[in-house]
Amino acid sequence: MTADLEGPAHLTPLTDAHRELGARLIEFGGWLMPVQYGSIIEEHRTVRERVGLFDLSHMGELYVEGPDAGEALAAALVSDPASLVIGRAHYSMICDPNGGIIDDLIVYRLGQATFLVVANAGNAAIVSDALAERIEGFKAILDDRSLATGLLAVQGPRAAEVLAPLTDVDLTGLRYYAAKEGTVAGIHALVARTGYTGEDGFEVFVDTSQTVALWDALLRGVRTVGGLPVGLGARDTLRLEAGMPLYGNELDLDTTPYDAGLGRVVKLTKAGDFVGRVALEKVAQDGPARRLVGLIVEGRGIARHGYPVWSGDRRSGVVTSGTQSPTLGVPIAMAFVAPGDGEPGTVLDIEIRDIRVPARVVTLPFYRRDA
Amino acid sequence: MVPTDLRYTNDHEWVRVDGEEATIGVTAYAADQLGDIVFVELPEPGRALEQFAAFGVVESVKAVSDLFAPVSGEVIEANGELGRSPEHVNNDPYGAGWMVRVRLADASQLDGLLDPDAYDALIAAG
């Protein structure tokens, strides 16, 4: 029942702190990470109602720097980082020549000639190698600082209240998907208003030597307003309720951004070639062969990754992620289905241990915070 | 220390014998390892359980786990309360979190199960 560690994993600087907090640690993306400190449901609700603190040291931080950095990234990724205003960020993807997703990313423009690409832990090395290869010939260099960078997230409606007294960054002026350098608890940091929970919140990047000091300061602040440290278990249920894809579940090399309903990320109108352009233009024109939808299970049972989805006797698709929604109190899932089966209100069947259980297509996300 | 009036399996189920009937559940250790339990699927009365074969499913937020029968027997009653309140398995695994009651098919099967000391040693070893 417990996940055994297979081979050596990277340790974050907080491994001892997590253990002292009673965390259960699992291997994830090549790192030993906390999956939960106590109850996943309680951690989930705490983020929805107050605030949670996450160790995201496993994420990959890839800096691309140089006079051509924007153009180099525009050639390497499906988005157009060259169009980003300094201090802003956008969601992006790196695809293979077939349009398959190698990883989903957040790209921050930190300066005229400086970009930060944040990759998933399990893909960081692959993305790093691909970027290094793809920016060759441009006046830009790749600096993989994944192991030198600590990343903590403060997420929840009271995140700003926790962070504001600790930082010289003006948080009221920091918009969603914006980032600014400053100090947090006296530590030099990059503060970004980004996250993976569906709540307001911040991600704070520091030198890895400062991760423990930052964690201690943020945890004190979080505790003050009734918050908790939160593990990857609740991070997964939070992102699923927010309708956000997880690489390995919704996204993989056999999936294009259009399949995943994320065609808006692909900037076919940008100048110049980019890896995957020809294949993605074709998918954009022909339409994807399947559609990513939200499902609410209406019978008894919880849909899980890999369970078949049926429309009558016709196989429609497959569940990519599923859980019992702590916020809604019903089983929710994301699934790839046939394009004609994706209209909200459509009732499909999910095969749960040989039994077909009805589930209704709903508009994503399952949960949206009050504006 | 686990309850001393029960027998246990290597798969972390417990069984409480009362005459020719036996009540089955999962241990506190299992419930803790699973985390928040959000769904339990149990057999209908009348179904025959076979010792060490899967008879149901328990799901936490993150994972699905099979339930294995500590003994063979016919299901007399399943705990319907767990449909509404699966959290009983976490909060009271040896009481309100019970799963099924069966009519024992072969009382000698109990001799092959772990006694409380042996089960304590098993979970202490992780």
Mutate to test the interface with A, among B34, B57, B61 (most CBs of A within 10 A): B61
For range A272-278, the mean pLDDT: 97
Number of domains in chain B: 1
**pLDDT tens, A33-49?**
999 999 999 999 999 99
What pLDDT shows up at residue A3?
44
pLDDT of A5 over the 60 cut = no
**What average pLDDT is seen over chain A?**
96
**pLDDT tens, A201-211?**
999 999 999 99
Residue B109 lies in a domain: yes
For range A297-305, the mean pLDDT: 95
Angstroms from B34 CA to nearest CA on chain A: 7
Note whether A1 and B33 are within 8 A (CB).
yes
What pLDDT shows up at residue A338?
98
Residue B19 lies in a domain: yes
- pLDDT category at A6 given cuts 50, 70, 90 is low
Q: Do A1 and B41 touch (CB under 8 A)?
A: no
A302 touches chain B (CB under 8 A): yes
Give the DSSP H or E segment for A237. helix A232-241
Give the number of other CB atoms < 10 A from CB of residue A9: 18
Chain B residue numbers with beta carbons less than 8 Å from the beta carbon of A305 are none
What are A336's two structure tokens? 């790839």
For range B82-108, the mean pLDDT: 97
pLDDT of B117 over the 90 cut = yes
**pLDDT tens, A48-107?**
999 999 999 999 999 999 999 999 999 999 999 999 999 999 999 999 999 999 999 999
Percentage of residues of chain B with pLDDT beyond 90: 96
DSSP labels, A241-253: HTT---BTTTB-T
CA atoms within 13 A on the CB side of B48: 3
Closest to A115 in 3D by CA, of A124, A105, A125, A123: A105
- pLDDT category at A370 given cuts 50, 70, 90 is confident
Q: Do A1 and B64 touch (CB under 8 A)?
A: no
Please tell me which residue of chain A has the smallest CA distance to B90: A39
What's the CA gap between A253 and A276, in Å, rounded? Answer: 12
Angstroms from B64 CA to nearest CA on chain A: 9
Residue B1 lies in a domain: no
pLDDT of A157 over the 90 cut = yes
What's the CA gap between B60 and A40, in Å, rounded? Answer: 10
What's the CA gap between B28 and B120, in Å, rounded? Answer: 11
What pLDDT shows up at residue A61?
98
For range A215-229, the mean pLDDT: 98
**pLDDT tens, B21-33?**
999 999 999 999 9
Question: In Å, what is the CA distance from A323 to each residue of A94, A125, A199, A296?
Answer: 28, 29, 19, 10
Q: Which residue has the higher pLDDT, A194 or A5?
A: A194
**pLDDT tens, A121-130?**
999 999 999 9
pLDDT of A278 over the 70 cut = yes
What pLDDT shows up at residue B126?
73
For range A159-166, the mean pLDDT: 98
One-letter amino acid at B9 equals: T
Task: Print the domain residue range for B53.
Answer: 7-124
Q: Do A301 and B33 touch (CB under 8 A)?
A: no
Question: In Å, what is the CA distance from A80 to each residue of A95, A158, A256?
Answer: 13, 33, 17
What's the CA gap between A208 and A114, in Å, rounded? Answer: 20
pLDDT of A4 over the 60 cut = no
Strand A52-55 versus strand A228-229 pairing type: parallel
Helix axes A40-49, A232-241, angle to 10 degrees: 50
Note whether A34 and A19 are within 8 A (CB).
no
- pLDDT category at A1 given cuts 50, 70, 90 is very low
Residue B69 lies in a domain: yes
For range B58-65, the mean pLDDT: 93
Q: What is the CATH number of the domain that holds B28?
A: 2.40.50.100
- Full set of structural domains in chain A with CATH: 1-288 (3.30.1360.120), 290-371 (2.40.30.110)
Residue B2 lies in a domain: no
- Bridge partner list, A324: A331
CA atoms within 13 A on the CB side of B30: 25
Angstroms from A328 CA to nearest CA on chain B: 13
pLDDT of A299 over the 60 cut = yes
What is the number of residues in chain B?
A: 126
Q: Do B39 and A40 touch (CB under 8 A)?
A: no
What pLDDT shows up at residue B1?
81
A301 touches chain B (CB under 8 A): yes
pTM attached to this predicted model = 0.94
For range A134-147, the mean pLDDT: 98
What pLDDT shows up at residue A371?
61
A326 touches chain B (CB under 8 A): yes
What's the CA gap between A300 and A278, in Å, rounded? Answer: 44
Q: Do A324 and B64 touch (CB under 8 A)?
A: no
